[in-house]
Amino acid sequence: MDRNQVQAVIDSGVPFTLRMADGKEYSVPHRDYLSLSPKGTYATVYDDEERFFVLPLLTMTGIASSASEKTAAS
């Protein structure tokens, strides 16, 4: 993934999940839960307990929209 791809999803305002090369997934329910480094090589994702995970964009394999999951649960 590159910075522009991640930034586009952040800007859309839709909740999403980041998928990593090691199989882990990180939920991003709102834009406040993710920040990109100035050079765009790392993303920092926060969870509800304010723990954080620094993730290299080079190891991101995909982004999945969480909007359909939220809609289906309603």
CATH number for the domain harbouring residue 48? 2.30.30.100
User: Are 57 and 64 contacting, i.e. CB atoms less than 8 angstroms apart?
Assistant: no
pTM over 0.75: yes
Asked whether residue 24 is domain-assigned, the answer is yes
Asked whether residue 73 is domain-assigned, the answer is no
pLDDT of residue 66: 82
pLDDT of residue 73: 43
Domain that holds residue 53: 3-62
Q: Give backbone dihedrals phi and psi of 68, rounded to 5 degrees, phi first.
A: -65, -35
Asked whether residue 74 is domain-assigned, the answer is no
Q: What's the total number of domains in the chain?
A: 1
Query: pLDDT (tens digit, 0 to 9) for every residue of the chain, 74 residues total?
Result: 999 999 999 999 999 999 999 999 999 999 999 999 999 999 999 999 999 999 999 999 999 998 654 444 44
Instruction: Name the burial class of residue 58, with classes exposed (0-12), middle (13-18) and buried (19+) by CB atoms within 10 angstroms of its CB.
Output: exposed
